[in-house]
Structure 1
């Protein structure tokens, strides 16, 4: 089981992803924007950050940079509907970074979480 911080600005997608990850046995704290998620990073540790790339106020790349200053080595899984934007940006911020392009199958997200946990344990 992982403690996951999820940020996704689309309400229905956020609720669907959070519920699906919870059904896979993970604890999920979900926010609609990176700015709203920042206080949670200070309050308690997380095992994985799953974040949308494009969000209002504070996007996924900047959130990941700030999160990894607070929690060094935090695995990041980016989710985006704008794959071209993500591939042009520097998404290799941390040691364990993955990118999923929307739409993606839920199994792909669960597999990405499993890979991130295994890689973190191995490091």
Structure 2
């Protein structure tokens, strides 16, 4: 479970991040990262939200995928810019992927944000 300070909870925030943020994708996930300029950072906590649609599978499968993604993101929070927001969208292939594969794909997406645009 992510602490409440790191959760992206309202629909407007999800929309803002997916529309204005940078996008990176892999075989199992699509990520959107919105970095707020330093002058606008009032809260230093990184906010994270997850989108796991019914295309991924039934409720049990979606819950399992979300838990595994949450665990990976928790370890990557210190590497994200302060005040940024991240949306992780699971693709249908994530249901069959191992935890190691999800970790690899998510870390590779996040690594692309560190390189120049």
TM-score (norm 2): 0.40
Using structure 1 for the length normalisation, give the TM-score: 0.38
